[in-house]
Chain A
Amino acid sequence: MACDFPCCVGTSSADQLQIITITRIIIGCMSTDFTNPPRDRSQLMDMLYASALREPLGNVRFLPFILKREIDRFLSRLDVGRFRSQVMKLDEYYLIRLQRQASELGAQDETVAGDFALFHISDAVWCFCSIENTVTVNKTAIAAIQQYASQASLIYISTREFRRIFDRLAEQKQRIQIVQHSEYNRQESNVNYLRETKDYRSVFAELASKDAVVRRIVAEVYAESRQPVALFAFNNNGLLSLREGAIHFFFDQLVAEVARIGNAKNLIFANRERERLQLHPLELSFEDNILSDKVANFALVDALSSISKSAIGVFHANPYIHVLYTDFRDGSSFNVYSTSDSTLMIVPSTRASVSALMKLYRGISEKFADCEIAEAPRRPPTLGEFFEG
């Protein structure tokens, strides 16, 4: 069969056959008309949404993520270790069949494959897009991003950022109802799943009163006319799933907002490595003088030691806290210490990836306390600070 795709021009017949096969597989789950792939990102999203509607419990899932290097290097990393991929390049996006093979350790970990579109959103943020189920997305796209820790990072959405996104929607006269959500309770160190329909403000107020943070939210957005606009799920790792609604509205108001957060974080987190004696610290700001109670130091140590694939050395736990934290995923490390009753300093070492900083920021803000992160301000001490009258 002849292939009409521009991308196939100039390739051998064997390559063409493979590309057609991939295209059948990928476009086949999106559209019955696989000989005519979407010409641009907008049409791609329409086609994905139409395909999702035909699937039982179908969703269009978006996974924005930060990518430090050029896309070709990332694509090549989708074919190493346990990952295998087939990639087709189109004008505005890539189509990818991504497979994660079973580990050598046992049968519990079966080979999983998923079909994805991959496109650039803005600056450092790219996005996987698919109608695959969450388990497949977790085991393929998310695992691939996590495997490439030195160059790629998921985008952690803090509870404050969830709130800000919903506040912005509300300012545009949208009404937001939380249909269900899961939360991590810091006091009880457990995850609870709640299925109650409430205005988002009530849910966030309750979260604050319980000292809990959002893991995942299922929400429904209504227009001023009370017409439903979108029903979607939103994970704190940036995965967004549209069950039904206006896909372009969803992309512009939610996916693009996560991408904006990702780019903002990338600006703060990238290129922070220590160069000999030059340090490039970040500051975490908390409310309520949380570190004035020394018991909080131990809670912070617990929070840091519970972060996966990492380890800590405590140089001081009391009275001030100073911890050396190492991420085993790519060898990044950081000194973390208190600078006041409401601030912590993070000083990246000679290796410090965006994903490791994202993971550290997530670990602290999820397990310890809500916080904001920014470049550390330079505050030289006043002369009087050294001699106490």
Chain B
Amino acid sequence: MADPGDVAEREFLKEFNDYDQTVDVVSCWQAFCHFRLKNAHFYCFGKFRTTDGADLTPDFALAESADGANADSGSLICDIKKFPNPYPVGADTKQQELAYQIFGTSVEDIFKYAVPLKYVSDRDSLPKLVFSEHDIVLLTPSEIVDPVYTYLASKIESKPFNLGRPLVLVEYFYSQGEQLERYVFKWKQGEANSPFLHTVLREQMVTKGLPLVVYPKHFLEYKIRYVLCNDPAPTIYLLVFLWLEVFLKTLSPDQIESWQTTSSTRAIEIELSVDQVHSKLETEYSAPFSKNDVRRALDKLVELKRAAVKDRDKEVYVIQFYNIAGRVFRDFPGEQDGLGHKAKFKEYSRVFARLLAKKEIEPPPPRKRIGFRRGRAPKDYPRLPFPE
């Protein structure tokens, strides 16, 4: 039977990788929009409001506008979705029905965009356009596109797919082959699929049948700029980014240099409020981390005994910061004798996956005074000022 820790670790890594791939896909379309559609606005963050007052957060939208108020015909409202397997292996009839029902509900989630929408957020000086002549685009990995197409064909009466607005099904995959690696996006071939209203996309992807391809050299700069996509980031993604990229930069170089004259495994205390972290992320990274994201990540660090709450009302935390790479864990899922073997990992997504899966081997050390420790640190295991 699988070790629950291994299963949890795999799940955390999957969350990290799935989210990362969604950010990749958004970045691909952003690169395409920037380089090919010079007059288009790209909406990767923020909310769209329906006439009923409901707020929706598609993964991205793309629009040109002749009058500055309305999105032109052929604008896109897009969601990227990985679906659960509708045909699980070994399932009995009842389980099969349930799986298909879950799959169907998940596919139908895209239908909500088939209404007029207005962009209502204040981000990046984007115009608050009204989208009423848009295509809904569903981007899904190639391995699941056939069941999705079949499901849509069975559910949508108006063909090509139209729910009040046309629905365009696009599959994507990452191609390695002999040519340079790139993301490949293909309009799903099929009579029921809607062609794009957007002239460039229709001519290239539908009429000529050419896939849209985007290379890492083009999309990665957008990914680095924006870090996130319009979905809430999983906690592991936030933790890796905050720990490696953000926390240390709240200290001056002088403070860090003084810390580094001691020992790399000594903890330095970094006192931060949710507001401070959120403000830094907004001003320096232009990425839409919410305060709730920050709170979620800091609370998780408290749970992992890497931080303590100093003032709950003011949401002030004290982070015990040090290089936690090289921590000792039970070994990787799939390896034999997992419980007995110890492995060290230096890479932070894996380190946090293991911390979150509670696979750390050593018990937390007893409480010590906060601040620089005077004694020699046990190798790889700085003492932390937390109770057991």
A305 in contact with B325 given A311-B348, A320-B216, A331-B251 (CB within 8 Å): yes
Stretch at the interface among A112-120, A261-269, A332-340: A332-340
Q: Which of A72-116 contact B (CB under 8 A)?
A: 80-82, 103-106
Contact of A351 (CB < 8 Å), options: B214, B218, B249: B249
B254 neighbours in A (Cβ, 8 Å): 150
For residue A329, which residue of chain B has the nearest CB? B260
* Complex interface bits, B28-50 against A, C-beta within 8 A gives 1, otherwise 0: 00011001100000000000000
Stretch at the interface among B79-87, B160-168, B176-184, B329-337: B176-184
For residue B324, which residue of chain A has the nearest CB? A311
A326 neighbours in B (Cβ, 8 Å): 244-245, 248
For residue B248, which residue of chain A has the nearest CB? A331
Contact of A105 with B347 in the complex, beta carbons under 8 Å: no
A341 neighbours in B (Cβ, 8 Å): 180
Contact of A328 with B174 in the complex, beta carbons under 8 Å: no
Contact of B221 (CB < 8 Å), options: A324, A338, A347, A388: A347
Contact of B263 with A105 in the complex, beta carbons under 8 Å: yes
B374 is an interface residue with CB less than 8 A from chain A = yes
Q: Which of A324-369 contact B (CB under 8 A)?
A: 324, 326, 328-331, 333, 335, 337-341, 345, 347, 349-351, 353
Contact of A340 (CB < 8 Å), options: B213, B217, B223, B349: B217
B67 neighbours in A (Cβ, 8 Å): none
B257 neighbours in A (Cβ, 8 Å): 81, 147-150, 329-330
Contact of B374 with A104 in the complex, beta carbons under 8 Å: yes
B374 neighbours in A (Cβ, 8 Å): 104
Contact of A309 with B264 in the complex, beta carbons under 8 Å: yes
For residue B352, which residue of chain A has the nearest CB? A313
A315 neighbours in B (Cβ, 8 Å): 20, 349
The distance in angstroms between the C-alpha atoms of A389 and B184, with both chains bound, is 12
Min CB–CB distance B327 → chain A (angstroms): 11
The distance in angstroms between the C-alpha atoms of A351 and B285, with both chains bound, is 12
B348 neighbours in A (Cβ, 8 Å): 311-314, 324
Interface Cβ pair total, 8 Å cutoff = 156
Contact of B347 with A81 in the complex, beta carbons under 8 Å: no
B261 neighbours in A (Cβ, 8 Å): 81-82, 147
B244 neighbours in A (Cβ, 8 Å): 311-313, 324, 326, 333
For residue A151, which residue of chain B has the nearest CB? B253
Interface SS majority for chain A: loop
Min CB–CB distance A117 → chain B (angstroms): 25
Stretch at the interface among B4-12, B111-119, B204-212, B296-304: B204-212
B98 is an interface residue with CB less than 8 A from chain A = no
A105 in contact with B211 given A305-B346, A353-B253, A380-B35 (CB within 8 Å): no
A54 is an interface residue with CB less than 8 A from chain B = no
A248 is an interface residue with CB less than 8 A from chain B = no
Q: Which of B247-290 contact A (CB under 8 A)?
A: 248-249, 251, 253-254, 256-258, 260-264, 283-286
A387 in contact with B213 given A106-B376, A148-B257, A311-B244 (CB within 8 Å): yes
Min CB–CB distance A346 → chain B (angstroms): 11
B223 neighbours in A (Cβ, 8 Å): 322
Q: Which of A133-149 contact B (CB under 8 A)?
A: 147-149
The distance in angstroms between the C-alpha atoms of A276 and B257, with both chains bound, is 25
Contact of B210 (CB < 8 Å), options: A324, A381, A388: A388
Contact of A337 (CB < 8 Å), options: B20, B220, B283, B376: B220
Min CB–CB distance A270 → chain B (angstroms): 15
B350 neighbours in A (Cβ, 8 Å): 314
B225 is an interface residue with CB less than 8 A from chain A = yes
Contact of A386 (CB < 8 Å), options: B181, B213, B225, B253: B213
For residue A279, which residue of chain B has the nearest CB? B221
Contact of A331 with B214 in the complex, beta carbons under 8 Å: no
Contact of A345 with B347 in the complex, beta carbons under 8 Å: no
The distance in angstroms between the C-alpha atoms of A313 and B241, with both chains bound, is 8
A351 neighbours in B (Cβ, 8 Å): 249, 253
B36 neighbours in A (Cβ, 8 Å): 383, 386
A1 is an interface residue with CB less than 8 A from chain B = no
Contact of A319 with B184 in the complex, beta carbons under 8 Å: no
A387 in contact with B256 given A326-B248, A347-B221 (CB within 8 Å): no
A39 is an interface residue with CB less than 8 A from chain B = no
A281 is an interface residue with CB less than 8 A from chain B = yes
Contact of B216 (CB < 8 Å), options: A150, A331, A339: A339
B32 neighbours in A (Cβ, 8 Å): 386
Min CB–CB distance A53 → chain B (angstroms): 36
A316 is an interface residue with CB less than 8 A from chain B = yes
For residue B218, which residue of chain A has the nearest CB? A381
A301 is an interface residue with CB less than 8 A from chain B = yes
B100 is an interface residue with CB less than 8 A from chain A = no
B339 neighbours in A (Cβ, 8 Å): none
Contact of A81 with B258 in the complex, beta carbons under 8 Å: yes
A308 neighbours in B (Cβ, 8 Å): 264
A319 in contact with B181 given A150-B257, A276-B286, A331-B249 (CB within 8 Å): yes
B361 neighbours in A (Cβ, 8 Å): none
Contact of B216 with A388 in the complex, beta carbons under 8 Å: no
Contact of B346 (CB < 8 Å), options: A312, A319, A333, A389: A312
A389 neighbours in B (Cβ, 8 Å): 208, 210
A279 in contact with B224 given A316-B20, A386-B35 (CB within 8 Å): yes
Contact of A311 with B220 in the complex, beta carbons under 8 Å: no
B258 neighbours in A (Cβ, 8 Å): 80-81
A385 is an interface residue with CB less than 8 A from chain B = yes
Contact of B225 with A277 in the complex, beta carbons under 8 Å: yes
For residue B204, which residue of chain A has the nearest CB? A387
B347 neighbours in A (Cβ, 8 Å): 301, 305, 312-314
The distance in angstroms between the C-alpha atoms of A148 and B20, with both chains bound, is 35
Min CB–CB distance A272 → chain B (angstroms): 13
B176 neighbours in A (Cβ, 8 Å): 319
For residue B283, which residue of chain A has the nearest CB? A276
For residue A305, which residue of chain B has the nearest CB? B346
The distance in angstroms between the C-alpha atoms of A244 and B256, with both chains bound, is 41
B103 is an interface residue with CB less than 8 A from chain A = no
A328 neighbours in B (Cβ, 8 Å): 248, 256, 260, 264, 323
B25 is an interface residue with CB less than 8 A from chain A = no
The distance in angstroms between the C-alpha atoms of A324 and B245, with both chains bound, is 8
Contact of A388 with B184 in the complex, beta carbons under 8 Å: yes
Contact of A386 with B248 in the complex, beta carbons under 8 Å: no
The distance in angstroms between the C-alpha atoms of A322 and B376, with both chains bound, is 36
B215 is an interface residue with CB less than 8 A from chain A = yes
The distance in angstroms between the C-alpha atoms of A355 and B32, with both chains bound, is 36
Given contacts A81-B257, A387-B211, 9 further A-B contacts (CB under 8 A): A80-B258, A281-B221, A314-B347, A319-B176, A328-B323, A329-B256, A331-B253, A347-B221, A386-B212
Complex A-B: 9 CB contacts under 8 Å: A149-B257, A311-B244, A314-B348, A322-B223, A331-B249, A380-B35, A381-B35, A387-B208, A388-B213
